A and B are shown apart, each in its own frame.
Chain A
Amino acid sequence: MTTYKAPLREYRFLLQELFDVGELAKLPGYEDATPDVFEQVLEEGAKLCEEVLFPLNRSGDEEGCTFENGVVRTPKGFKEAYDLFRQGGWTALVCDPEYGGQGLPHTLQFLVEEMVSSANMSFGMYPGLSNGAYRAIWHHGSAAQKRKFLPRLVDGSWSGTMCLTEPQCGTDLGQIRTRAEPAGTDGVYKITGTKIFISAGEHDLTDNIVHLVLARIVGGPPGIRGISLFIVPKFLVKDDGGLGPRNGVRCGSIEHKMGIKASATCVINFEEAEGYLLGEAHKGMRAMFTMMNAARLGVGLQGLALGETAYQTARQYAQDRLQGRALAGDKFPDKPADPIIVHPDVRRMLLTMKAYTEGARALAAWVSLALDRAERDPDPAAREEADDFIGLMTPIIKAMLTDNAFAATNLGVQIFGGHGYIREWGMEQLVRDSRITMLYEGANGIQALDLVGRKMPMHNGRLLRRFFHPVDAWLRQRLEKPELQEFVMPVMKAFGRLQQVTALVAQKGMADPDEAGAAASEYLRAFGLVAMGYLWARIAEIALGRLGGDEALFYKGKLATARFYMARVLPETNTLFVNIAAGAKSLMELEAEAF
């Protein structure tokens, strides 16, 4: 059995020690979002996740979703858990009060999402997708569309999806064939086509499902510029808000997947389904990206969440499992054997997991605070700055956090030895569940291209400066502090080299796009590791000042992990920088036929 207790102390550390969440309550509309509200909401959310969602994680994986005659059933207990979740108002947390939402900050939503995914990632998919649909309609919908769809998405009685992928196109959405024919009334279309890989596409949790569908209006421009976004409900919605007849939307089958088996991944067939244009015609990609960016950050959180569960469970096991003796002599002579946590190699694995997970959480919190500022800060310059920073960090959060999650959950299996490979222990499920996070919402290679090809050159490097400048200033202010040298120096060095390779990649990429492509994944990882290193240095600074108190053990843990990060994680950048400098030649010289 895996173990999960929501890391509330970690959350308090982030919100009140590393960052100052009290600042959020100063933003207009967030007056109620005071630190004590954060604590209460997290505590109550923790209960629900630990007591209701977590116990369904293993059974949901064993049972999976079933498909019969077009009907999809979620595993036993999911419907009841979803009802509790929705009645508790958790689907409404971050939503607009005008439509029944609680209007609470993204920063709080992030932490709740993490707890939900740690407890039961498959379950989290359903409200997660709904929230994406909510955002797209909230941003781009007409007043009538908002009135019609948002209240039910907010209260969770309806759910949402995003329908992008088709059999012939995933990443390259310009190839979309699903077509939309004008149905006579303005803004109403008949949608026909097949979508695949639709998470939460069909299930038994809600009364209605609101699909957001990318399709091409007949006669529209070819390629990506002719794609529009449509709202296509499973059941038509009458003017009074009640449900009308079934729309031409049918689930054709569900996928049999490696992981997240309790999340229904559907083939959805649209046959002359009534759809309503969302936003402007032919500008569907832009509207869809409102969902995508949030979704990408959400996927990063899923990664971090699984790493947390793996770490908690492996930590427990390493302390309980008595096997052999410490290399340097018995550590617990009164026991029949020493717990395996005495071994350097087990510690290496646990510390890697801890460094990844807590570093990831700090990074995610940094970005989520920016998300709140980007939306609420009255100063346009501050909003722009926050928005730039989010744009820059989104691909890094998505890709690095999920790469690390796969590594961390794998280490979790390793710590369990053979038992990690046995289903009952639950560790292998975490590996399987985490594997999807590297793939969906844009595979990690695509995230790297987004960073190098779009975010890096955007506004002449303005996005990069939103990271480089504050980090540079923080490091410089601490050059004279002897107690911080062991943290500041390695980060400073890696940070300097990151700036050098940034210039190199930009310059070489300009002349030959393959050069940028060849460097992209390693550049993203190096960037992420430096960003996390900077945060670990900041964490170390806080911990150093609090070693004497009655929570000495907690801060010792932070300090030791920061040291581990500097000594054994950050040096990975050395290899990455060498690889980046090696360029595209060794990747590109072999003809495709020779593979």
Chain B
Amino acid sequence: MKVLVAVKRVIDYNVKIRVKPDKTGVETANVKMSMNPFDEIGVEEAVRLKEAGAASEIIAVSMGPQSCQETIRTALAMGADRGIHVLSDAELQPLAVAKLLKAIAAKEQPQLVILGKQAIDDDSNQTGQMLAALLGWAQGTFASKLKLEAEKALVTREIDGGLETVELKLPAVMTTDLRLNEPRYASLPNIMKAKKKPIEQVTPEALGVDVAPRLVTLKVEEPAKRQGGRKVASVQELVDKLKNEARVI
């Protein structure tokens, strides 16, 4: 069984994000970039499937500029077998990414596509769902547990009310939540082996996908500075302020 894992290159979660002075986006020049943490969980899950004998091949896919190859290398060092890099310097929005993944899925015929539930840069939480819809496949989003059985996958989802387990007919799309697993550290021998694993480079044009953005970003701003708190003398005063000042109750 082939598993396709999507890995996005994002600003490292440790970096303090700065908005560009012209408010067109956030500063990414000379900022440490890493694999989206949810995608790391996706790679880890795929590698565990392979180690358990359930998966035969893992393909890591990333999209964006040349530097995305580093992110694919990280996935290869964790245990993915080969990479596909869709080279594009354009802004890739979730719908475009979903279409590109659909084109790759058509070619590779995986039984399972794993994505992070969202990327920590734009927090869209759309790509997995869009991909499932475009492919007409079943989807199990926000997965905290995956169990494969013959021809089907049992995915435990983290939902508002607790946990929900869905049964998906394969092939299927799954998106990962935080508690699915704890990703491993790549070992030194595997980092060295990753260097020799193949990464295929394709373009959106070759895949026949129009990636032109459908959404326009008007401006990007920093969140409002936090105001200092105030002490209230009594519960009554608190209720009064919540009602009349904050107007939240």
Contact = CB atoms under 8 A, between A and B. Distances in A.
Interface stretch (B105-113, B149-157, B185-193, B201-209): B185-193
B77 interface: yes
B189 A102 contact: yes
A419 interface: no
A53 to B, nearest CB: 11
Interface string B129-173: 000000000000000000000000000000000000000000000
B192 A37 contact: yes
B187 A87 contact: yes
A32 B196 CA distance: 10
B29 interface: yes
Nearest to B188: A89
A90 interface: yes
Given A37-B191, A89-B189, A102-B192, A44 B30 contact: no
B195 interface: yes
Given A32-B195, A37-B191, A40-B77, A84 B32 contact: no
Interface string A209-238: 000000000000000000000000000000
A551 interface: yes
Nearest to A553: B30
A48 interface: yes
Contacts of A28: none
A44 B195 CA distance: 14
Do most interface residues of chain B lie in helix, strand or loop, or is the interface mixed? helix
Contacts of B73: 36, 40
Nearest to B69: A36
Given A5-B14, A32-B195, A41 B188 contact: yes
Contacts of B191: 37, 40-41, 44
A109 B74 CA distance: 20
A197 B103 CA distance: 65
Contact of A44 (B14, B29, B32, B185): B185
B32 A8 contact: yes
Interface in A30-73: 32, 34, 36-37, 39-41, 44, 47-48, 52
A550 interface: yes
A301 interface: no
Contacts of A36: 70, 73, 195
Contacts of A39: 70
A37 B29 contact: no
Interface residues of A, number: 25
A47 B188 contact: no
Given A40-B77, A550-B29, A88 B192 contact: no
A427 interface: no
Contact of A40 (B14, B32, B74): B74
Contacts of A89: 187-190
A494 interface: no
B185 A47 contact: yes
Contacts of A5: 14
A34 B191 CA distance: 12
Contacts of B74: 40
A399 interface: no
Interface in A80-119: 84, 87-90, 92-93, 102, 104
A550 B30 contact: yes
Nearest to A51: B185
Interface string B204-228: 0000000000000000000000000
A539 B190 CA distance: 34
A52 B184 CA distance: 12
A125 B187 CA distance: 21
Nearest to A103: B192
Contacts of A48: 185
Contacts of A92: 188-189
Interface string A294-326: 000000000000000000000000000000000
A44 B77 contact: yes
Interface in A139-163: none
A1 to B, nearest CB: 15
A37 B195 contact: yes
A563 B14 CA distance: 31
Contacts of B29: 550
Nearest to A84: B185
Given A5-B14, A44-B77, A550-B30, A32 B185 contact: no
A287 B187 CA distance: 32
B185 A88 contact: yes
Nearest to B78: A44
Contacts of A41: 188, 191
Contacts of A84: 185
Contacts of A8: 32
Nearest to B189: A89
Residue among B187, B188, B191 with the highest chain A CB neighbour number at 10 A: B188
Contact of B188 (A52, A90, A551, A554): A90
Contact of A551 (B30, B77, B189, B190): B30
A34 B189 CA distance: 15
A292 B69 CA distance: 41
A32 B192 CA distance: 8
Interface string B53-82: 000000000000000001001100100000
A39 to B, nearest CB: 8
Given A40-B77, A550-B30, A88 B187 contact: yes
A106 to B, nearest CB: 15
A550 B29 CA distance: 7
A551 B188 CA distance: 30
Nearest to A89: B188
A554 B70 CA distance: 23
Contacts of A93: 188
A102 B30 contact: no
Nearest to B34: A43
Nearest to A91: B188
A102 B70 CA distance: 21
Nearest to A46: B32
A551 B187 CA distance: 31
B185 A102 contact: no
A330 to B, nearest CB: 20
A36 B70 CA distance: 9
A381 B30 CA distance: 41
A88 B30 contact: no
A64 to B, nearest CB: 27
Interface in B175-199: 185-192, 194-195
Contacts of B70: 36, 39-40
Contact of A102 (B14, B77, B188, B194): B188
B78 to A, nearest CB: 10
A36 B187 CA distance: 16
A96 to B, nearest CB: 14
Contacts of B188: 41, 44, 88-90, 92-93, 102, 104
20 contacts: A8-B32, A32-B192, A34-B195, A37-B192, A37-B195, A40-B77, A40-B191, A41-B191, A44-B186, A44-B188, A48-B185, A88-B185, A89-B188, A89-B190, A92-B189, A93-B188, A102-B188, A104-B188, A551-B30, A554-B30
Interface of B: 14, 29-30, 32, 70, 73-74, 77, 185-192, 194-195
Per CB-CB distance, the 4 closest pairs between chain A and chain B, nearest first, are: A89-B188, A88-B187, A89-B187, A550-B29
Given A32-B195, A89-B190, 12 more contacts: A34-B195, A37-B195, A40-B194, A44-B188, A48-B185, A84-B185, A88-B186, A89-B187, A90-B188, A92-B188, A102-B188, A104-B188
